[in-house]
Structure 1
Amino acid sequence: MTTDLRARVASASPLVVKVGSSSLTGPEGGIAAERLAALVEVLAARRAAGSQVVLVSSGAIAAGLTPLGLSVRPRDLATQQAAASVGQGALVAAYSAQFARHGLLAGQVLLTADDVTRRGHYVNARRTLEKLLAMGVVPVVNENDTVATHEIRFGDNDRLAALVAHLINAEALILLSDVDALYDGPPRRPGSCRIDFVPDADDLGGVDLGGSGSGVGTGGMVTKVEAAQIATSAGVTTLLTSTPLAQRALAGEDVGTVFAPTHARGRARQLWLAYAASSRGALTLDDGAVEAVTRHGKSLLPAGIRSVTGRFVSGDAVDLVDLAGRVVARGLVNYDSRDLPGLLGRSTRDLARQLGAEYEREVVHHDDLAMLRRGRR
C-alpha cells in the first residue's frame, strides 16, 4: 500500500506542493534566495516531466520583516498586513525570476476564505487555476494576507493547500516544512520513531504533535495533520516531509509520511463548507431538525430552529448546533440574522400566507449543507 501511494505521488498530475515560511526565509525574516532557488529547480524538473504543478507558498509576511526593520513576526493584524504587502511582491518577484531560469512562467493567485466559500468566488478561483495550468503557467498561491481579516482568514496555508488540491482535483498534495516526517513523539526526543504511513489521520489521537511552528510562520505539525485530514477525506494522497527532501519525495522514495485517501472525491462545495468556511453565527436546532438534517439529508426549515446567535447576512456560513451545543453541520443561510428570529418555529406555509411567497423557502438548503463530526464545538 505504501509503495503504491508513493508511486502515485511520483506520477501525480495535477500536483499541489505547499512550502512553509521557515523553508524559504531566514530566522529573522527575509527571503533565503538559495533555498527558494533549490525548491524551484525541483518543481521545474517535475514540470519538465509532464506534471501540472501548483505551488502554495507561505512567506509573504516573513519576507516583509527585514525590509520593514522588524526582528520578529508582528502580533497585530495591521502590521502583519503591512509586512505582507511589502513581502508578497518580493516573494513573487523571486519566484518569477527563478522559474524564468527554467523557461517557466509563474502566476500569482491570492485567495481569501471568501474566495472558496461563496459559490461565485470559488467557481471563479477554480476556473482561474485551471486556465493557468492549461496555459503552462505555474500558479503560486498564497492567502491574501494584505486584506484578510481575522474573521475571513484560512489561519494557515496548510489548510489552504488541502482545499486547493481538492479545488483542482489534484492527484497528490505534498506538504513541505522543516520537519522531515511525522513522528510518534517530539522528533528530537531519543526513541521517537518516524511514522512512514498513516491509513487514516483520524487515528492519530494518541500521537504528540507538538506545538506551533517556527517564529516566522503560523503552522506546525497539528495544522499539517489537519490539512492531511482535509485532503485525504477528499481522495487526495498526501505526503509530509521536509523541503530538502522534496526531490526524493517527488521521485517516490521512502521519505516523510504518506497519508492514504480515506474517501472518494466528494463534492467541492461540501468540503469548502466543512473546512474553509468561517462561521458568522449559529442556529440552534431541536432534535427533530437535527435528525432531518444529519440523517435524512433534508433542508433546514424555520420550524426546527430554536434560537439564532451572531450577526450574518444571506449567503454567509453558519453553524447548525444541537440542543447540547454541539456543531453538527455548517451551511449557507438564506436569511439575514435580523430577519430570522421572527420566523422561528413557524412553518413555511404559514409564513408565505402571512408575509408573502418569498418566505416559503428553506433557511438552509440541503445543497448548501456540510455535515460535521458530532461533538465538535
Structure 2
Amino acid sequence: MNPSLPGRSALADAPRVVVKIGSSSLTGADGRLDLDRLRALVDVLAARRARGQQVVLVSSGAIAAGIAPLGLPSRPRDLATAQATASVGQGLLVARYTQAFAAHDQRVGQVLLTAEDLIRRQHYRNAQRALERLLTLGVVPIVNENDTVATDEIRFGDNDRLAALVAHLVRADALVLLTDVDGLYDGPPSRPGTALISEVHGPDDLAGIEVTGRGTTIGTGGMVTKLDAAAIATGAGVPVVLTAAENADRALAGEAVGTWFAVTGRRTSTRRLWLAHAARTSGRVVLDDGAVTAITVGKRSLLAAGITAVEGDFEPGDPIELAAPDGAVVARGLVAYSAAEVATMLGKTTDELRDGHGWTAPRAVVHRDDLVVVKRA
C-alpha cells in the first residue's frame, strides 16, 4: 500500500461522497419498497449532510417499486414493460425519499441519466453542471438510470457502473456501494470456510476470487458488477467501500467494515471512462497492423484505409470495438458511420472515398476525440 494515498479512515471527513444502494437493500421479498430500510439509509445520509458534507445518492429500485402497483408477479423481462414499470416506480421511489429527507429538513432532487448523457460532450457537461449546482444549493441528488427511455443498445447496464461514473463526474472523494452482503468474500459467502477480504489494492488481490454473476431476482447486478464498478472508480482515482446497507453509518465513518478498494489510477475524462467500460458495444471493426499502431501509439483517428472487416449492425454514434488482426480488442469508440456504410469503405483511402462516393470531405470512421485505447499495441 502506498502510504501517501488516503486510507478508509479519511472517509469520515471526505467532503463529497457518492453512495449507491441496490434494489435488494430497499425492497422486501414481495418486491415492495421497505420504508423502514429506506428511512434507515436516509437517517445516515441526512446526518452526514447536517455536518456539512455533500452526498450524491445513486438509488436503484424504480422498477422494483413499480412491480406491486402494476400488479406484476415479478420483474418484467421485456424492455417495454420494464420501461413502463420504471416510469411508475420512479415517481413513487423519489416521493418516499423526499418525505424521508424532509423529516430532517433537507431537500432532494431527481436526476435521471442515460449513457448518452455521459458520452456526448455537451450532455455530460450539462449533467456535471446540474449536479454541481444541486450540491451547491444543499440538495441531495437522487440519481438513477433513466430506464424509461434507455435501450439495450446503449445504456450503463446497471447502477453499480452508473455510480462509478457519477463518482468520477462529480469528483467525489469516495464511492460507497451498499448491497445485501457485508463485503467481498474469497468465495460464495454461504460456503463454509470463505473469508471476507478487507482490502483490495489492485487486480492481483482478486486473483482466484470466485464471485457470482447475478444478484437477486429484484436487482440486476451481482458481485461481478460491483467489482467492475470498483475497477472503474479506483482506476479513475476514486476509492471504494463495498459493504452491506446496514453498515452504511460505520462505512461512512471510516470504520473497518466491508471491503476497501484502494485507488489504482488517475482521473480521466468521463466520456472516455465510459467508453473504456461500455456496458455493451454494437459491433466491431477489424484493423490492419498499421491502423492498430496509428491509434494506439500514434493517437490518431481511425480511417477507412486501415479497416479490413466489419462485424455487427451499428448506426452512427454507436459505441463499437476496434480489434487487431488477431481479434484482440485494442480500443473502443463512437463510430461516425453505419455498419453498412463502413462495409463499402473497407481499405479505401480518402481520395478513393472522394472519387467513389462523391464525398468532398470524408470523416474519420472513429475520431480520436471519440476513441479510447484499452490495450496497447
TM-score by length of 2: 0.93
Q: Which residue of 2 aligns with 1:56?
A: 58
Check if 1:83 corresponds to 2:85. Answer: yes
1:373 Cα offset (Å): 4.3
Aligned equivalent of 1:162, options 157, 164, 176: 164
Q: Verify the 8 A CA contact 2:160 2:177 in the aligned structure 1.
A: yes
Counterpart Cα distance in 1 of 2:128 and 2:280: 19
Q: Which residue of 1 aligns with 2:209?
A: 207
Q: Which residue of 2 aligns with 1:324?
A: 326
Q: Which residue of 1 aligns with 2:112?
A: 110
Aligned equivalent of 2:145, options 139, 143, 146: 143
Per-residue CA distance 1:117-161 (angstroms, 9 max, x = gap): 222222221121111111111110111112222212322110110
**Residue identity matched to 1:257:** T
Counterpart Cα distance in 1 of 2:249 and 2:160: 20
Counterpart Cα distance in 2 of 1:152 and 1:139: 23
- Going from structure 1 to structure 2, the CA distance change for 1:165 and 1:202 (only over 3 Å counts) comes to farther
Per-residue CA distance 1:257-306 (angstroms, 9 max, x = gap): 00011011122231021123642221110111112212232221111111
- Going from structure 1 to structure 2, the CA distance change for 1:314 and 1:263 (only over 3 Å counts) comes to same
- Going from structure 1 to structure 2, the CA distance change for 1:72 and 1:296 (only over 3 Å counts) comes to same
Q: Verify the 8 A CA contact 1:277 1:317 in the aligned structure 2.
A: no
Q: Which residue of 1 aligns with 2:368?
A: 366
Q: Which residue of 2 aligns with 1:312?
A: 314
Check if 1:31 corresponds to 2:18. Answer: no
Counterpart Cα distance in 2 of 1:61 and 1:341: 39
Q: Verify the 8 A CA contact 1:8 1:172 in the aligned structure 2.
A: no
Counterpart Cα distance in 2 of 1:349 and 1:9: 57
- Measured on the aligned residues, the alpha-carbon RMSD in Å equals 2.0
**Residue identity matched to 2:108:** A
Q: Which residue of 2 aligns with 1:246?
A: 248
Q: Which residue of 1 aligns with 2:303?
A: 301
Q: Which segment drifts farther, 307-316 or 209-218?
A: 307-316
Counterpart Cα distance in 2 of 1:118 and 1:270: 10
Counterpart Cα distance in 2 of 1:317 and 1:29: 34
Pairs within 5 Å for 1:185-204: 185-201=187-203, 203-204=205-206
**Residue identity matched to 1:134:** T
- Going from structure 1 to structure 2, the CA distance change for 1:121 and 1:101 (only over 3 Å counts) comes to same
Structure 2 unmatched ranges of 5 or more: none
Q: Which residue of 2 aligns with 1:280?
A: 282
- Going from structure 1 to structure 2, the CA distance change for 1:38 and 1:286 (only over 3 Å counts) comes to same
1:64 Cα offset (Å): 1.3
3-state DSSP of counterpart to 2:18: strand
Counterpart Cα distance in 2 of 1:204 and 1:321: 27
- Going from structure 1 to structure 2, the CA distance change for 1:267 and 1:103 (only over 3 Å counts) comes to same
Q: Which residue of 2 aligns with 1:133?
A: 135
1:4 Cα offset (Å): 3.9
Q: Verify the 8 A CA contact 1:318 1:333 in the aligned structure 2.
A: yes
- Going from structure 1 to structure 2, the CA distance change for 1:350 and 1:74 (only over 3 Å counts) comes to closer
Q: Verify the 8 A CA contact 1:201 1:228 in the aligned structure 2.
A: no
TM-score by length of 1: 0.93
Q: Verify the 8 A CA contact 2:303 2:366 in the aligned structure 1.
A: yes
Per-residue CA distance 1:53-104 (angstroms, 9 max, x = gap): 1000001111111212223222222222222122111100000011111111
Counterpart Cα distance in 1 of 2:73 and 2:372: 42
Q: Which residue of 2 aligns with 1:68?
A: 70
Q: Which residue of 2 aligns with 1:261?
A: 263
**Residue identity matched to 2:7:** L
Q: Verify the 8 A CA contact 1:13 1:172 in the aligned structure 2.
A: no
**Residue identity matched to 1:165:** A
Q: Which residue of 2 aligns with 1:345?
A: 347
1:203 Cα offset (Å): 4.1
3-state DSSP of counterpart to 2:214: coil
Q: Verify the 8 A CA contact 2:213 2:225 in the aligned structure 1.
A: no
Counterpart Cα distance in 2 of 1:127 and 1:202: 37
1:353 Cα offset (Å): 6.3
Counterpart Cα distance in 2 of 1:118 and 1:203: 35
Counterpart Cα distance in 2 of 1:218 and 1:114: 20
**Residue identity matched to 2:264:** T
Per-residue CA distance 1:297-317 (angstroms, 9 max, x = gap): 222111111122333333332
Q: Which residue of 1 aligns with 2:47?
A: 45
1:371 Cα offset (Å): 1.5
